[in-house]
Amino acid sequence: MDADRREYSRPFLGWRMVAIAFLSYNCAMGLTSGSFGTLLPTLQNDLHTSRAAASSAYGFMLLSTGLLSPVVGNLTRFFRLRTLMITGAAFNALGFLLLAYADNLTEVLLIYGGVVGSAGCLMGVIPSPTLVGRWFEQGTRGKALGLTMMPMFIFIAPPIAAFMIEHGGRHLLFLFMAAVFAAVIPVLTLVVEQPADVGQTSLRPVAAAERGRKPEVTVPIKSTFEIFTDTRFWLISIAIGILTASGIAFVAQGVGIAIETGAGLTAASTVLSAYGAGTLAGALVYGWLMDRLGPFLTLIICMSVDVAAWFAFTGISSLAPMQLLAGLIGAAAGATVALHSAVMPEIFGTNNFSRAIGYSYLIKVPFLFGAAPLSGYLYDRSHNYGSTFLFFACALCVATAVSILLAFDQRRRYRPA
């Protein structure tokens, strides 16, 4: 009895799981992505290859992450999240250790695609939001996911990578990153899979009944066939894919957009700085809104703001308003993963979340890889960015309409009898 009382009297561990998930996600996706842009010129020179060929290492990493997401989503049914996350960290440590001694492009591509990409999936995009989803319920999950998916390391990685490269080349950078992932492993051993494992319950809103919030609906475990034949799965995957693509396109073309209006390179780069600041703010602000308005309504608001920003670019010719619009687009991009992770359990329940979002990431692969070249193609065809602005604004209008339909469908399904 005393032992049980001590167990139940422990402080709520959910926020500790958020901190661990934040570290895991940011190392897996933020550190690797944030360091690559700084590394790229050195990698190109060391391997005596073209910029396009060297850049393909990052593409292989993202491709691997997307293709393996369904596999990892299914693995969460048979292996503990802690095991998957530790395995991912170990893979990353091994991958960057191997990269430190890789001396040709083929080896680099194989390691980034086969080891680092799979490690990112094992450590970041599936287990991290799954862990948070188990500890927080509707009404508290939004803020927790927003904090978890806040891409902080993308912004601290470039100066660290530059310092390492200046003092020891890519060899020192890769050894440093291997050491970081090795150091994360002991932290990941502290993962507690479920609140029930320590005699606690997931965090639910205070006075939920008074605010009229409906309790979470328990959805039975669905088969892969049931998930893929659910129209809602395809609609939300495509809508989130469009939102993701709009952010990627802006990152690829943002500086060019500013230069086209007459800004110099240094001034034009501040547009991406504003975009980066927006991603941090968006993860927090939209996370806060999710807890108050629900994930579907928040997704609609997020996409509507993004539509307005892309349309507004057609009439902007000065830098200051461009920075503001870049921040709004960045806010949507920063909230995309959290919104995706919050909407999925609303549709499929927490029991099916890992598998459903894993399959959904697979659907997103064409959007991840098509956004940048498509935006470049539109510019080449029209010799200005007007067509790019209109294309993504219209695509986001479609995504917003889809989100509205899903919101009404969800409300209809769970309306009290």
Task: Identify the structural domains of the chain with CATH numbers, from first to last.
Answer: 10-197 (1.20.1250.20), 224-413 (1.20.1250.20)
CB within 8 A of 397, min separation 6: which ones?
307
Q: What is the pLDDT of residue 141?
A: 82
Q: What is the pLDDT of residue 216?
A: 54
Q: What is the pLDDT of residue 415?
A: 60
Q: What is the pLDDT of residue 207?
A: 53
Q: What is the pLDDT of residue 299?
A: 95
CB within 8 A of 257, min separation 6: which ones?
250, 271, 313, 322, 385
Return the SS3 of 123.
helix
Q: What is the pLDDT of residue 416?
A: 52
Q: What is the pLDDT of residue 86?
A: 96
Identify the residue whose tokens are 């050195």.
Answer: 42
Task: Please answer whether residues 240 and 340 qualify as being in contact, where contact means their C-beta atoms are separated by less than 8 angstroms.
Answer: yes
Nearest to 126 by CA among 187, 81, 193: 81
Q: What is the pLDDT of residue 265?
A: 67
Cβ density class 143-168: b for 16+ within 10 Å, e for less = bbbbbbbbbbbbeebeebbeebbeee
Return the SS3 of 101.
helix
Q: What is the pLDDT of residue 287?
A: 86
pTM of the predicted model as reported, rounded to 2 decimal places: 0.76
* Burial of 282: CB neighbours in 10 Å, binned 0-12, 13-18, 19+: buried
- Residues 59-118 have pLDDT tens digits of 788 888 888 888 998 898 889 999 999 999 999 999 999 999 998 999 999 999 899 999
Q: Tens digit of pLDDT per residue, the chain (417 long)?
A: 444 444 445 788 899 999 999 999 999 988 887 787 778 788 888 888 887 788 788 878 888 888 888 899 889 888 999 999 999 999 999 999 999 999 899 999 999 989 999 999 999 888 998 898 889 887 788 888 888 888 788 778 878 888 888 888 899 999 999 999 999 999 999 999 889 888 888 887 765 444 444 555 566 788 889 999 999 999 999 999 999 989 888 876 777 778 777 777 677 777 777 888 888 888 889 988 988 888 999 999 999 999 999 999 888 878 888 889 989 998 998 889 889 988 988 888 888 888 888 899 889 888 877 777 787 788 888 888 888 899 999 999 999 999 999 998 888 776 654
Rounded Cα distance between 278 and 131, Å, is 26
Rounded Cα distance between 303 and 154, Å, is 23
Q: What is the pLDDT of residue 27?
A: 92
Return the SS3 of 203.
strand
Q: What is the pLDDT of residue 414?
A: 63
Q: What is the DSSP string of 240-269?
A: HHHHHHHHHHHHHHHHHHHHHTT--HHHHH
